[in-house]
Amino acid sequence: MLKSFPPTLLILAPMLATACSPVPERAQQDQAMAMRTQAEEQAPLLDAFDETPDDCLLMVWSNQKSREIEFDRANDLVDGGAISCATRTSPSQFQAAIDALRAAARSGDKARMLEQLGLPLLYIDRDGEQVELDDEQVDALYDEVFDARLMGAIDRLDLSRMTVVPERGGFFELGSLWLVVDEAGGRPRLVTVNRQALEEAAGTARRKAQDRKGDPVPEL
């Protein structure tokens, strides 16, 4: 019967295993120094476990080699709940994905954008027709899918405006763009482009701007 181990034990396990392994006497000093360094690196995470032992972020961090604890704590809650609980990764990983997508969009470099996609890419056109695109199809239809309007939506991505859905991922602008995580603690990738939802988001933004009277209508 499999047992569930506390996250703290998962973090300390590599150090414990190293300590219990037979080591030649001349290597003991180097091993002790390495263990001290590792313990110092893990100290902030262990402190976080002591503060909130049932936090989803703690399980996410246990799957990451490097962590941004302060950023993750400050940005975990969005529409739909906690990013860490819904997606099995951290806000900082979503922010890294957003930054990479935005940089690729601004650069105009197709290769950089393709690196940020999760394939097959689900593409939904303005009429609601759905098709899954493999790498060759994405390359062939790139100018149609990633036109100026979509690039503008990517450039506007803001972590605080993301909505999460448990076990599905995070989306922006009424579902125009979906980011999904492949593995716990990892960086999400863009897996869905929904042009129909993008049109709806543009219409909603225009109506809100008109209701505010005098505010400029955003170009979406």
Burial 99-133 (b: 16+ CB within 10 A, else e): ebbbebbeeeeeeebbebbbeebbbbeeeeeeeeb
Say what the pTM is. Answer: 0.74
Whole-number Cα distances in Å, 204 to 60, 103, 162, 198: 35, 26, 16, 10
Give pLDDT tens digits for 137-170.
Answer: 999 999 999 999 999 999 999 999 999 999 999 9
Same domain, 101 and 191: yes
Same domain, 134 and 188: yes
Same domain, 48 and 117: no
Pairing of strands 189-194, 163-165: unpaired
Instruction: HSE, CB side, 13 Å, CA atoms: give it for residue 173.
Output: 26
Give pLDDT tens digits for 53-72.
Answer: 458 999 999 999 999 999 99
Same domain, 144 and 195: yes
**In this predicted model, which residue has the larger pLDDT, 31 or 124?**
124
Task: Return d(Cα 31, Cα 39) in angstroms, integer.
Answer: 12
Mean per-residue pLDDT over the chain, rounded = 84
Task: Return d(Cα 217, Cα 13) in angstroms, integer.
Answer: 56
Judge whether 172 and 162 are in contact, CB under 8 Å: yes
Average pLDDT over residues 41-45: 56
Sign, CA dihedral 135-198-79-81, equals negative
Counting the structural domains of the chain, the total is 2
Determine the structural domain holding residue 38 and report its residue range: 7-54
Same domain, 14 and 97: no
Pairing of strands 117-124, 81-82: unpaired
Same domain, 96 and 161: yes
Same domain, 95 and 195: yes
Is 59 inside any structural domain? no
Is 107 inside any structural domain? yes
Using the predicted structure, report yes or no on whether residue 29 has a pLDDT greater than 60.
yes
Q: Three-state SS for 44?
A: helix
Is 86 inside any structural domain? no
Is 2 inside any structural domain? no
Same domain, 96 and 203: yes
Same domain, 30 and 107: no
Is 115 inside any structural domain? yes
Average pLDDT over residues 198-219: 73
